[in-house]
Structure formats: structure tokens, C-alpha cells
Structure 1
């Protein structure tokens, strides 16, 4: 028997059979690089990557497999919408196909380096305070911000030596940001880390604090 997914006699799966996707991180406008990576993997895990990348075109509306394609397209669309902050949904819900929605999000939140967004992200990193938050939660928040900054404000250098020097300076500032955010009970380990020369990487710093 043919296993071709376009076989007319193949029953269309109910949307419920595909399950839900609930990311811990919803798209909020500033965390697109992290969010898109998680979302793409989640949809790929359902076997429906083609609905966001457009690898396969939708069948003609008269094709017997069109209802199955449409059903899966609606599932992907809803998964994405359900993992976007409510304040952003109205801006993107007008798209009809999942691929259009996916590309619209990339255009709106993933392309270019809006100076205001970049400055706001830097402001958030320098203003971050632990205030009783778990160390793991604080680290995750910083990871999200640093990833977003890196995607919008990449290393501008063009030679190996200048790139390396820029990265070292950036790493030093990131370590400072993380240590400044920690509660006072970490003061001893903070002093120990800051007195090390050369200064440890941010991952090593996190490991030492843990």
C-alpha cells in the first residue's frame, strides 16, 4: 500500500492529535532570536516545518489533500499566535497563511538594528537586579537579553585581531552586568571573581557563583 501523504484515502488528523506547543518564553518583541529558535524546533518536532519555511507549496484547493494541509496550517498558525504576548497579537493576526505570519514576524522583530531597541536592551541589562530571584532565573533572563543584543548589535570589527579584542571587551562588560545584578549575599564571590586576572568568561563566572 502506498504511504504517499497525498493519498486521497488517508484520513486527516484531528488538530488535537498534534498536541499543543507551549514555550516557556513567549515572543515579547525583544527576544525574537531566542523565541524563533525555540519555536522552529518545536514545530519541527511536530513534523510540520514546511508550513513555516515554505519548502512545500500548498496543494490546489480542489486537491483531495487540501483539507489536511489547511488543517495543519491552522495548527501551526495557532501554535505561533499562542506563543506571542497578547499585546503583539493584533499586529500579526491579519496574516492568512502560517508562512506569511512567520515571515512577517521575521521582518518586524528579526531584521535590522533599531537603535531604540538596541539601547533599550542595553538599558535592561545594566538595570537588571536579582532581588530574590533564583540564580537560574536571573541567568536565563540575561541569556535572553544578550542573545537579542548580539543579533541586533553584532561585532562590527573586520579583522581577526580586532574581532577578538572586541569580544574580550564585550565579555568583560557582560561579566560586570551579571555580577552587579546579584544580591548582596554574593559579595564575597563577586570580589573574588573581580580580583582574578584575566577576568573569567561569563559562563565560568556563572559556574563559580553557583
Structure 2
């Protein structure tokens, strides 16, 4: 990168002092006094999650510093260069602070945040490596709920699914093909989710699979989570016998539980027969009341 040799001695010295003191450099502008810490540090196993979290963290700051990961520095002759250099040191320090110390020690040679970021991409991102894609699919298929809560299981499955989508995105170009591919992928994700659920959700899984069109995995999860909450409240792990749980798809693809009404049978109630009110019926054939033409004995015959 042009200008890199001129930047390196000065930046290396400042970086060395920063690491020695264990704090961020503190330029005159007080807006840079904040540290930036995320919940995990980069290691050889978590690059995909780490890079997403660190981008969100930097992009969430109230200053436009995310460009330091993607854009080259301005010319040193420009008046804005000094301010840019201060900002770049801050972004560089944020990256270093969120990398495991065993790795960070070998990364101090990079003169700018972008060069460090690009080096991490080359080192840890395998792009669309098919072996990694295969391993992720195997991992996703091996996920089972088991002793995990529904929420914990869903988060785990979402993490793997999201990583698969990131490294193996929709390859279609035609709008119709994009839509078809997305539908197929959505169905596969739904099947994977339902298959990994515990046995106690079998009845509601069958109801979901009867829907046409099939809902998304997200909508199915929302419905099952609601049903699980109902089960916890009622202290049961199965649907009450006689109640049919129906799943109603909304226009937005969401889902909700609906209870299909009972169809009352004509039988005994409180020891007596339930009789229909026939006072308003009148036969079109004989003109008599309390029956219809279809029930008229003169046409259908008298009982023996």
C-alpha cells in the first residue's frame, strides 16, 4: 500500500506505547476516550462471529469510523490526515484489544487498521470454501434440542444457519429464481428445525407440516414457543385430548395458535337427550309442521 513505509515507524512506536500502558491513546478530542470491548476475543475458531460483532460495535459508535476498515488513508499532504491518523489509531487499538493476546502479538506490524483488517480476512476467512460449508451443514444436522431450552436451542441453530447463508449465499440472478431458491432454503431450514426438536412437540410439528404454504422456521419457532409457554402454565407436556391445535398463517408469514371449535354431538347432556327445536319447520309436501319434505313420512315411508 502506498505511503505504508512512511507510516510504519510512527505508528509502530505509538502502538508499542499503547500496548505497554494497556490503554487507548488519548488524543485531544475527548470523544475518543471510550474503550470498545465485545464479549469475545478473536481466536482461530470464532472469526465469523467475531468479525460480525466487531463491525457492529465499531459501526454503532456515534462517529463514522467503520470506513477505517474498508478505505485507504488520505494523502499525508491533506489537512485532514492528522485527524484521520488519530482516528485510525483508535480503530486499530479497538481491534487489538479484542484479539487473543497470543495472536495480537504478531499483528503489531500492520501500519493501518485496514491493513490489519485485511490480514485477518486472509488469515481466518475461508470465503466460500466448500469443506467449511460441508462441515457447517454437518454441524447443523447434528444439532438436537436435548436438554437445552427452546430458546438456547434456537439461538444455536440460528448461529449455524446464519453462517451457512453468509459463506454460501443465494447464487441466483433472475428474480423468479431468487424467489424459488429462497423458498426451498426456507423449507430446508424449517425441516431442520422441526427435526431437531424434542419428542414432546410432535403433535404441533405435524400441524405445522400440514400448512400450505409452509411457514418459515422463524414463524414456526414463534408458534412453538407460545405453545411451550402454554404447556408450562398448564403443567402439561402434551395437548389436552380432544383439542386440535391449528396453525393460522398471517399475511406477513407469521403464525399464531388457533383452537378449532368443537362440533357438539347430539347426545345426552345431564342425563337427558338434547332435542332440536322443530317448531319452525314446515313440510312443502303435506303442509304439516315440525318436519321438512325430506323427512315427510308420506314420501319416505312410515316406520314399522
Superposed pair shares fold, TM > 0.5: yes
Asked if the contact 2:40–2:50 (Cα under 8 Å) also holds between the matched residues in 1, the reply is no
Does 1:22 find its partner at 2:38? yes
Residue number in structure 2 paired with 1:78: 96
Aligned to 2:28: 11
* Pair 1:122 & 2:153 matched: no
Deviation sequence 1:144-172 (CA, Å, 0-9, x none): 22222112222233333332222222111
- Kindly tell me: are residues 190 and 209 of structure 1, through their superposed partners in 2, closer, same or farther at Cα, counting changes over 3 Å? same
Aligned partners of 1:53 and 1:99 also within 8 Å: yes
Deviations along 1:47-95, whole A, 9 cap, x unmatched? Answer: 33243233644969xx97698457524422224415xxx89x3797365
Residues 128, 168 of structure 2: 8 Å contact kept: yes
Per the TM alignment, residue 122 of structure 1 is displaced from its structure 2 partner at its CA by 0.7
2:190 matched residue in structure 1: 175
Which residue of 107, 114, 125 maps to 1:93? 107
- SS of alignment partner, residue 175 of structure 1: helix
Which residue of structure 2 aligns with residue 143 of structure 1? 158
* Structure 2 residue 192 is matched with structure 1 residue 200: no
Give the SS at the match of 1:22.
coil
- Greater helix proportion: 1
Q: Compare CA radii of gyration and give the structure with the larger one.
A: 2
TM-score in terms of structure 2 length: 0.52
CA RMSD of aligned residues (A): 3.5
- Structure 2 runs not aligned, ≥5 long: 1-26, 226-304
> Which stretches of structure 1, 4 residues or longer, exceed 4 Å deviation after superposition?
12-15, 24-31, 55-60, 63-71, 108-111
Q: Which has the higher strand share?
A: 2
Aligned residues: 193
